[in-house]
Amino acid sequence: MRFCSACGQTVEQSVPPGDNRPRYCCAGCGTIHYQNPKMVLGTVPVWGDQILLCRRAIEPRYGYWTLPAGFMENGESTSEGALRETIEEAGAQIEMGDLFSIIDVPQIEQVHLFFMARVLDSRFDPGPESLEARLFTEAEIPWDQLAFRTVTQTLRWYFEDIKAGGCRLHHSIVRYEPKPRP
Amino acid sequence: MRFCSACGQTVEQSVPPGDNRPRYCCAGCGTIHYQNPKMVLGTVPVWGDQILLCRRAIEPRYGYWTLPAGFMENGESTSEGALRETIEEAGAQIEMGDLFSIIDVPQIEQVHLFFMARVLDSRFDPGPESLEARLFTEAEIPWDQLAFRTVTQTLRWYFEDIKAGGCRLHHSIVRYEPKPRP
């Protein structure tokens, strides 16, 4: 950030009165520009003993597999955002279930939330952000080709919970280290 | 938003290629300025059969009571942020517990997360954002003087769960309607 989005003057980093950390502050109009973490919302779409994954058509992690997920938009609830992303990325018809995982990723200033979802029709229509969308049994999951650690962790929890008799909500922190590019 | 924070030119709202909603776009440098919901992090600080509340010294809801809470900062986990806010607003020594409530507030583009916390010392040192910090039994909670609906909902869940034998994680949506000012 170099310029004030309210008045166009250059901004400087300084600690505002009563605050305790540097912010982008505009000396012209007085606006303080706070920067905060973003939420990523997704689903664990279940069809019998299979899970729906999408292969990414965009960076980061082009060509890797992911649960359908993306940034939360203003004006929507977390569940609405997760449903929207699943429609946009997989073209899947789903019924939303309960919140299943919350994973903090402080290094990249994100919190990822995944909801359980029931796939209603096994025909998919992947959007422009996905190369393909298909169902995987646990044995078929491409563990070494998953795009993000939060996806790997969420899938592990899902298959553990299923074996243990039922899904419960999980919360953890991923200290994110990007994998090498393909 | 009127000016590009990267280059200082004026921005226009338009739907970028491949997107499906208007964003602030800079015709000069091509930057797209996404705007996303923010997370508010707080605690339910428990001391025996009492809960620690803070009386707000700032707007909105000056003079009303709240659980200690505030905006998540970049670089911290949700639990770290909730601990930080509890120290800043109440000057309380606490031991953090599990995530307890997640409440979407889509109208104001926020998601509120509250963690259980154990108060370790009943002496508090409220910061500049609080007029006072004190402990309340359930019978003493000033229900009609609470600052935010997410606080009211979280406290209701807490006292219900305690009566039912234990705390579990709750998730809901508040369709926010501000109360009239005092």
CB atoms within 10 A of CB B15: 11
Residue among A37, A106, A128 whose CB faces B39 most closely: A37
The pTM of the full predicted model, rounded to 2 decimals, is 0.93
Chain A CB contacts of B79 under 8 Å are 104, 173
Alpha-carbon distance of A32 to A175, in angstroms, equals: 29
Please give chain B's pLDDT, 182 residues, in tens.
999 999 999 999 999 988 889 999 999 999 999 999 999 999 999 999 999 999 999 999 999 999 999 999 999 999 999 999 999 999 999 999 999 999 999 999 999 999 999 999 999 999 999 999 999 999 999 999 999 999 999 999 999 999 999 999 999 999 866 556 66
Instruction: Say how far residue A135 (Cα) sits from the centre of its chain.
Output: 19
- Burial of A73: CB neighbours in 10 Å, binned 0-12, 13-18, 19+: buried
Q: Which two tokens stand for residue A62?
A: 């082009």
CB contact under 8 A, A78 and B104: yes
Instruction: Say how far residue B7 (Cα) sits from the centre of its chain.
Output: 33
Place of tokens 């007085």: A30
Alpha-carbon distance of A128 to A43, in angstroms, equals: 18
Question: Where are any strands of DSSP class E within chain A?
Answer: 11-14, 23-26, 32-33, 38-47, 50-56, 65-66, 69-71, 94-105, 110-119, 130-137, 170-173
The ipTM, to two decimals, is 0.92
Whole-number Cα distances in Å, A176 to A170, B10, B95: 18, 36, 25
Could you tell me the domains of chain B?
1-35 (2.20.70.10), 38-173 (3.90.79.10)
Which ranges of A28-148 does DSSP label H, i.e. alpha helix? 78-90
Identify residue A46 by its one-letter amino acid code: V
Count A/B contacts: CB-CB distance under 8 Å.
Answer: 110
Share of chain A above pLDDT 70, in %: 96
pLDDT of residue B182: 62
CB contact under 8 A, A106 and B173: no
